[in-house]
């Protein structure tokens, strides 16, 4: 993702041959300067919430079988279809799993990990860190780490905040526990460094426009809204991909198995993957690989 022209970041003063500033993520390239980078890294990510988020917001959901089934469709039914679709396309992805979900569907975690996909931290019962005290947030981090690493036998490198609401101490708590990256902020279209107390973490940014939840969720317990047609969402995501590819950024798509895994929507995702694969200069990677490559290149 390098440019042949040296640029300088107006925000932090960093200068070098790059289209995005590694210090703050600001764009160093104007769309009017050339025809564009024509290259892009695609990160497909899935938040395997199950019904944890609904129960966290309203504990009574645990006693409402219909409402629970809405979320539980994800780890029970959708994940196997998603893993198969990724295998057909020959791409790897990142799955962020609350510890509560992992405890209830260990075979789902095993299936994801055995297929070579990344397992990331997503709270225990989908707790937004901004709603917790520092002590509670640390406990949730430790509990989720113990569950996920115990199941996979591997350290957990990445964290994604439930509801994308970090607290003032979230990044510092992550760094203390050996996380290498976070994926909860929206400050750029490419990875960048974020301060984490006395240390630094790589941030792999996301955005609500590249999340399936705002387009598709309709449920009495999880919000009522007009559901978009898969073709509308496919067009929106394809246009965003085209622009990010022109800029030379990273296209990070956030999805939830209980949402994207429904019939019709998963077929749309497969069409989108095929479209992106048809373009030159495009590669698919897990979030942990993107972040480790960035950290290695810009360790100074």
The confidence score (pLDDT) of residue 30 equals 59
The C-alpha atoms of residue 184 and residue 166 are separated, in whole angstroms, by 7
Q: What is the pLDDT of residues 133-144, one digit of tens each?
A: 999 999 999 999
The confidence score (pLDDT) of residue 129 equals 97
The confidence score (pLDDT) of residue 246 equals 86
The confidence score (pLDDT) of residue 70 equals 93
The confidence score (pLDDT) of residue 3 equals 40
The confidence score (pLDDT) of residue 127 equals 97
DSSP 120-185: EE--SS---GGGS-HHHHHHHHHHHHHHHHHHHSS---EE--GGG---TTHHHHHHHTT--EE---
Using 50 as the pLDDT threshold, list the residues of the chain that sit under it. Answer: 1-5
The confidence score (pLDDT) of residue 6 equals 53
Write down the pTM of the prediction: 0.92
Domains of the chain, earliest start first: 1-36 (no CATH), 37-297 (3.20.20.370)
DSSP 2-17: --SS-EE-TTT--EES
């Amino acid at each position: 993702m390098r440019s042949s022209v040296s640029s300088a970041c107006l925000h932090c003063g960093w200068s070098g041959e790059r289209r995005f500033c590694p210090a703050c993520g600001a764009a160093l390239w104007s769309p009017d300067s050339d025809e564009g980078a024509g290259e892009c890294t695609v990160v497909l990510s899935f938040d395997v919430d199950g019904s944890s988020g609904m129960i966290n917001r309203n504990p009574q959901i645990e006693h409402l079988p219909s409402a629970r089934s809405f979320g539980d469709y994800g780890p029970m039914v959708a994940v196997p279809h998603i893993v198969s679709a990724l295998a057909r396309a020959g791409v790897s992805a990142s799955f962020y799993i609350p510890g509560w979900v992992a405890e209830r569907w260990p075979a789902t975690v095993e299936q994801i990990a055995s297929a070579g996909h990344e397992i990331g931290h997503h709270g225990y019962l989908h707790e937004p860190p901004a709603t917790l005290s520092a002590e509670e947030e640390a406990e949730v981090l430790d509990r989720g780490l113990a569950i996920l690493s115990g199941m996979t036998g591997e350290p957990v490198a990445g964290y994604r905040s439930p509801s994308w609401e970090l607290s003032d101490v979230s990044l510092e708590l992550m760094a203390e526990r050996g996380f290498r990256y976070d994926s909860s902020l929206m400050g750029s279209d490419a990875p960048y460094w974020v301060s984490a107390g006395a240390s630094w973490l790589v941030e792999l940014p996301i955005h609500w426009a590249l999340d399936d939840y705002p387009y598709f969720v309709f449920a009495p317990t999880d919000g009522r809204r007009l559901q978009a047609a898969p073709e509308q969402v496919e067009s929106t995501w394809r246009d965003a991909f085209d622009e990010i590819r022109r800029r030379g950024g990273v296209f990070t798509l956030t999805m939830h198995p209980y949402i994207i895994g429904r019939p019709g929507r998963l077929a749309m995702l497969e069409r989108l993957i095929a479209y992106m694969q048809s373009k030159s200069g495009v590669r698919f990677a897990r979030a942990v690989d993107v972040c480790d490559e960035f950290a290695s290149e810009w360790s100074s």
